[in-house]
Chains A and B, each alone.
Chain A
Amino acid sequence: MFKAIITVKLRPSILDPEGKAIEHALQSLDFRQLSGVRVGKEIELTVDTTDRSEAGDMVDAACRKLLANPVMEDYTIELQEL
């Protein structure tokens, strides 16, 4: 069994207005050295297999089909053995 942690973010070329709003708030709180805020979401799920590469392929297929929209989002997958 694996736990998959999937991070989905807007692609770098796309303006992230939520990230911008947070960045402005940070600036106004005097966090002058913090910038480049991007907001994404994290999805956790369990994969029922003992084969790491099969687990990776399955989660990748799920990302492409449903969990992320490649038109606007990029994703990364981290697998942890349970």
Chain B
Amino acid sequence: MAGMKFGVVVFPGSNCDHDAYHAVKHVLGENVDFLWHKEHDLRGVDVVILPGGFSYGDYLRCGAISQFSAIMKEVIRHAERGGHVIGICNGFQILAETGLLPGALLRNRSLKFVCKSVHLRVENAETAFTRRYTQGDVLHIPVAHGEGNFYTDSETLRELEENGQVVFRYVDADGAVTREANPNGSLNNIAGIINRHGNVLGMMPHPERAVENLLGSADGLGVFASLVETITGSVPVLS
């Protein structure tokens, strides 16, 4: 069985980096390195995690300045070679700014920072990030953001839907897509998307905050366990 390594990028203002590190290191028992934003080397990691937070103070636009940091050049190169990248919350905003994922994350429709647990439906369980789930699974995972309102032009939206690139959608506890279940006004209740090639995923909810029952939910662990299974070919044993 081949080993693998995760890398968690740390920007000035990242604040979910340690949660992501904890999820893969202590809960899954995998190798993981922090990657400082000024570094020019990904140190051979297989999966890059762009964590949540407020990189560069969210100045200009969320993720706008981070996209040009030294490490992001390497992350983009890694993604273009087919390497796996997951952007969570601020990480999703950064991926949208770089153009690795389509669309943009606008200010929440309510204008409020939303911090609560939501229900997500797995729309595509045939990705490197979701293979441990079953399509239609309803997950209980927290969101915490002020700019998570996914927007794109109608042509791109149609392509995302047709190609199965919408991976997670906000739903109610019964799995129904409703306006009330949408915490931020995202088009089509979109919570997470994947690129056409299937190696770059962005999501606003925080799977790394839902990896142990002690935290209230372990529903997010499947995202990281799916990546381990994808890279190593072996199935991690979850407690």
Chain A residues within 8 Å of B, Cβ to Cβ: 10, 14-15, 17-18, 21, 66-67, 69, 71-72
Contacts and interface: CB of A to CB of B under 8 A. Distances in A.
A72 B151 contact: yes
B109 A71 contact: no
A69 B111 contact: no
Contacts of B102: 71
A67 B151 contact: no
Interface of B: 60-61, 64-65, 68, 96-97, 102-104, 106-111, 151-153, 185
Given A10-B106, A69-B97, 6 more contacts: A15-B185, A17-B185, A18-B107, A66-B68, A71-B104, A72-B151
A40 to B, nearest CB: 12
A81 B24 CA distance: 56
Given A66-B60, A69-B97, A71-B152, A17 B104 contact: no
Nearest to B156: A71
Nearest to A16: B107
Nearest to A39: B107
5 tightest CB-CB pairs across the interface, nearest first?
A71-B104, A72-B104, A17-B111, A17-B109, A69-B104
23 contacts: A14-B106, A14-B151, A15-B109, A17-B107, A17-B108, A17-B109, A17-B111, A17-B185, A18-B107, A18-B111, A66-B60, A66-B68, A67-B60, A69-B61, A69-B64, A69-B97, A71-B102, A71-B103, A71-B151, A71-B152, A72-B104, A72-B106, A72-B151
Chain A residues touching B, majority SS: mixed
Contacts of A10: 106
B183 to A, nearest CB: 14
A15 B109 CA distance: 9
Contacts of A71: 96, 102-104, 151-153
* Most chain A beta carbons < 10 A, residue from B68, B97, B151, B185: B151
Nearest to A71: B104
A67 B97 CA distance: 11
Contacts of A14: 106, 151
A72 B65 CA distance: 16
Contacts of B153: 71
Nearest to B102: A71
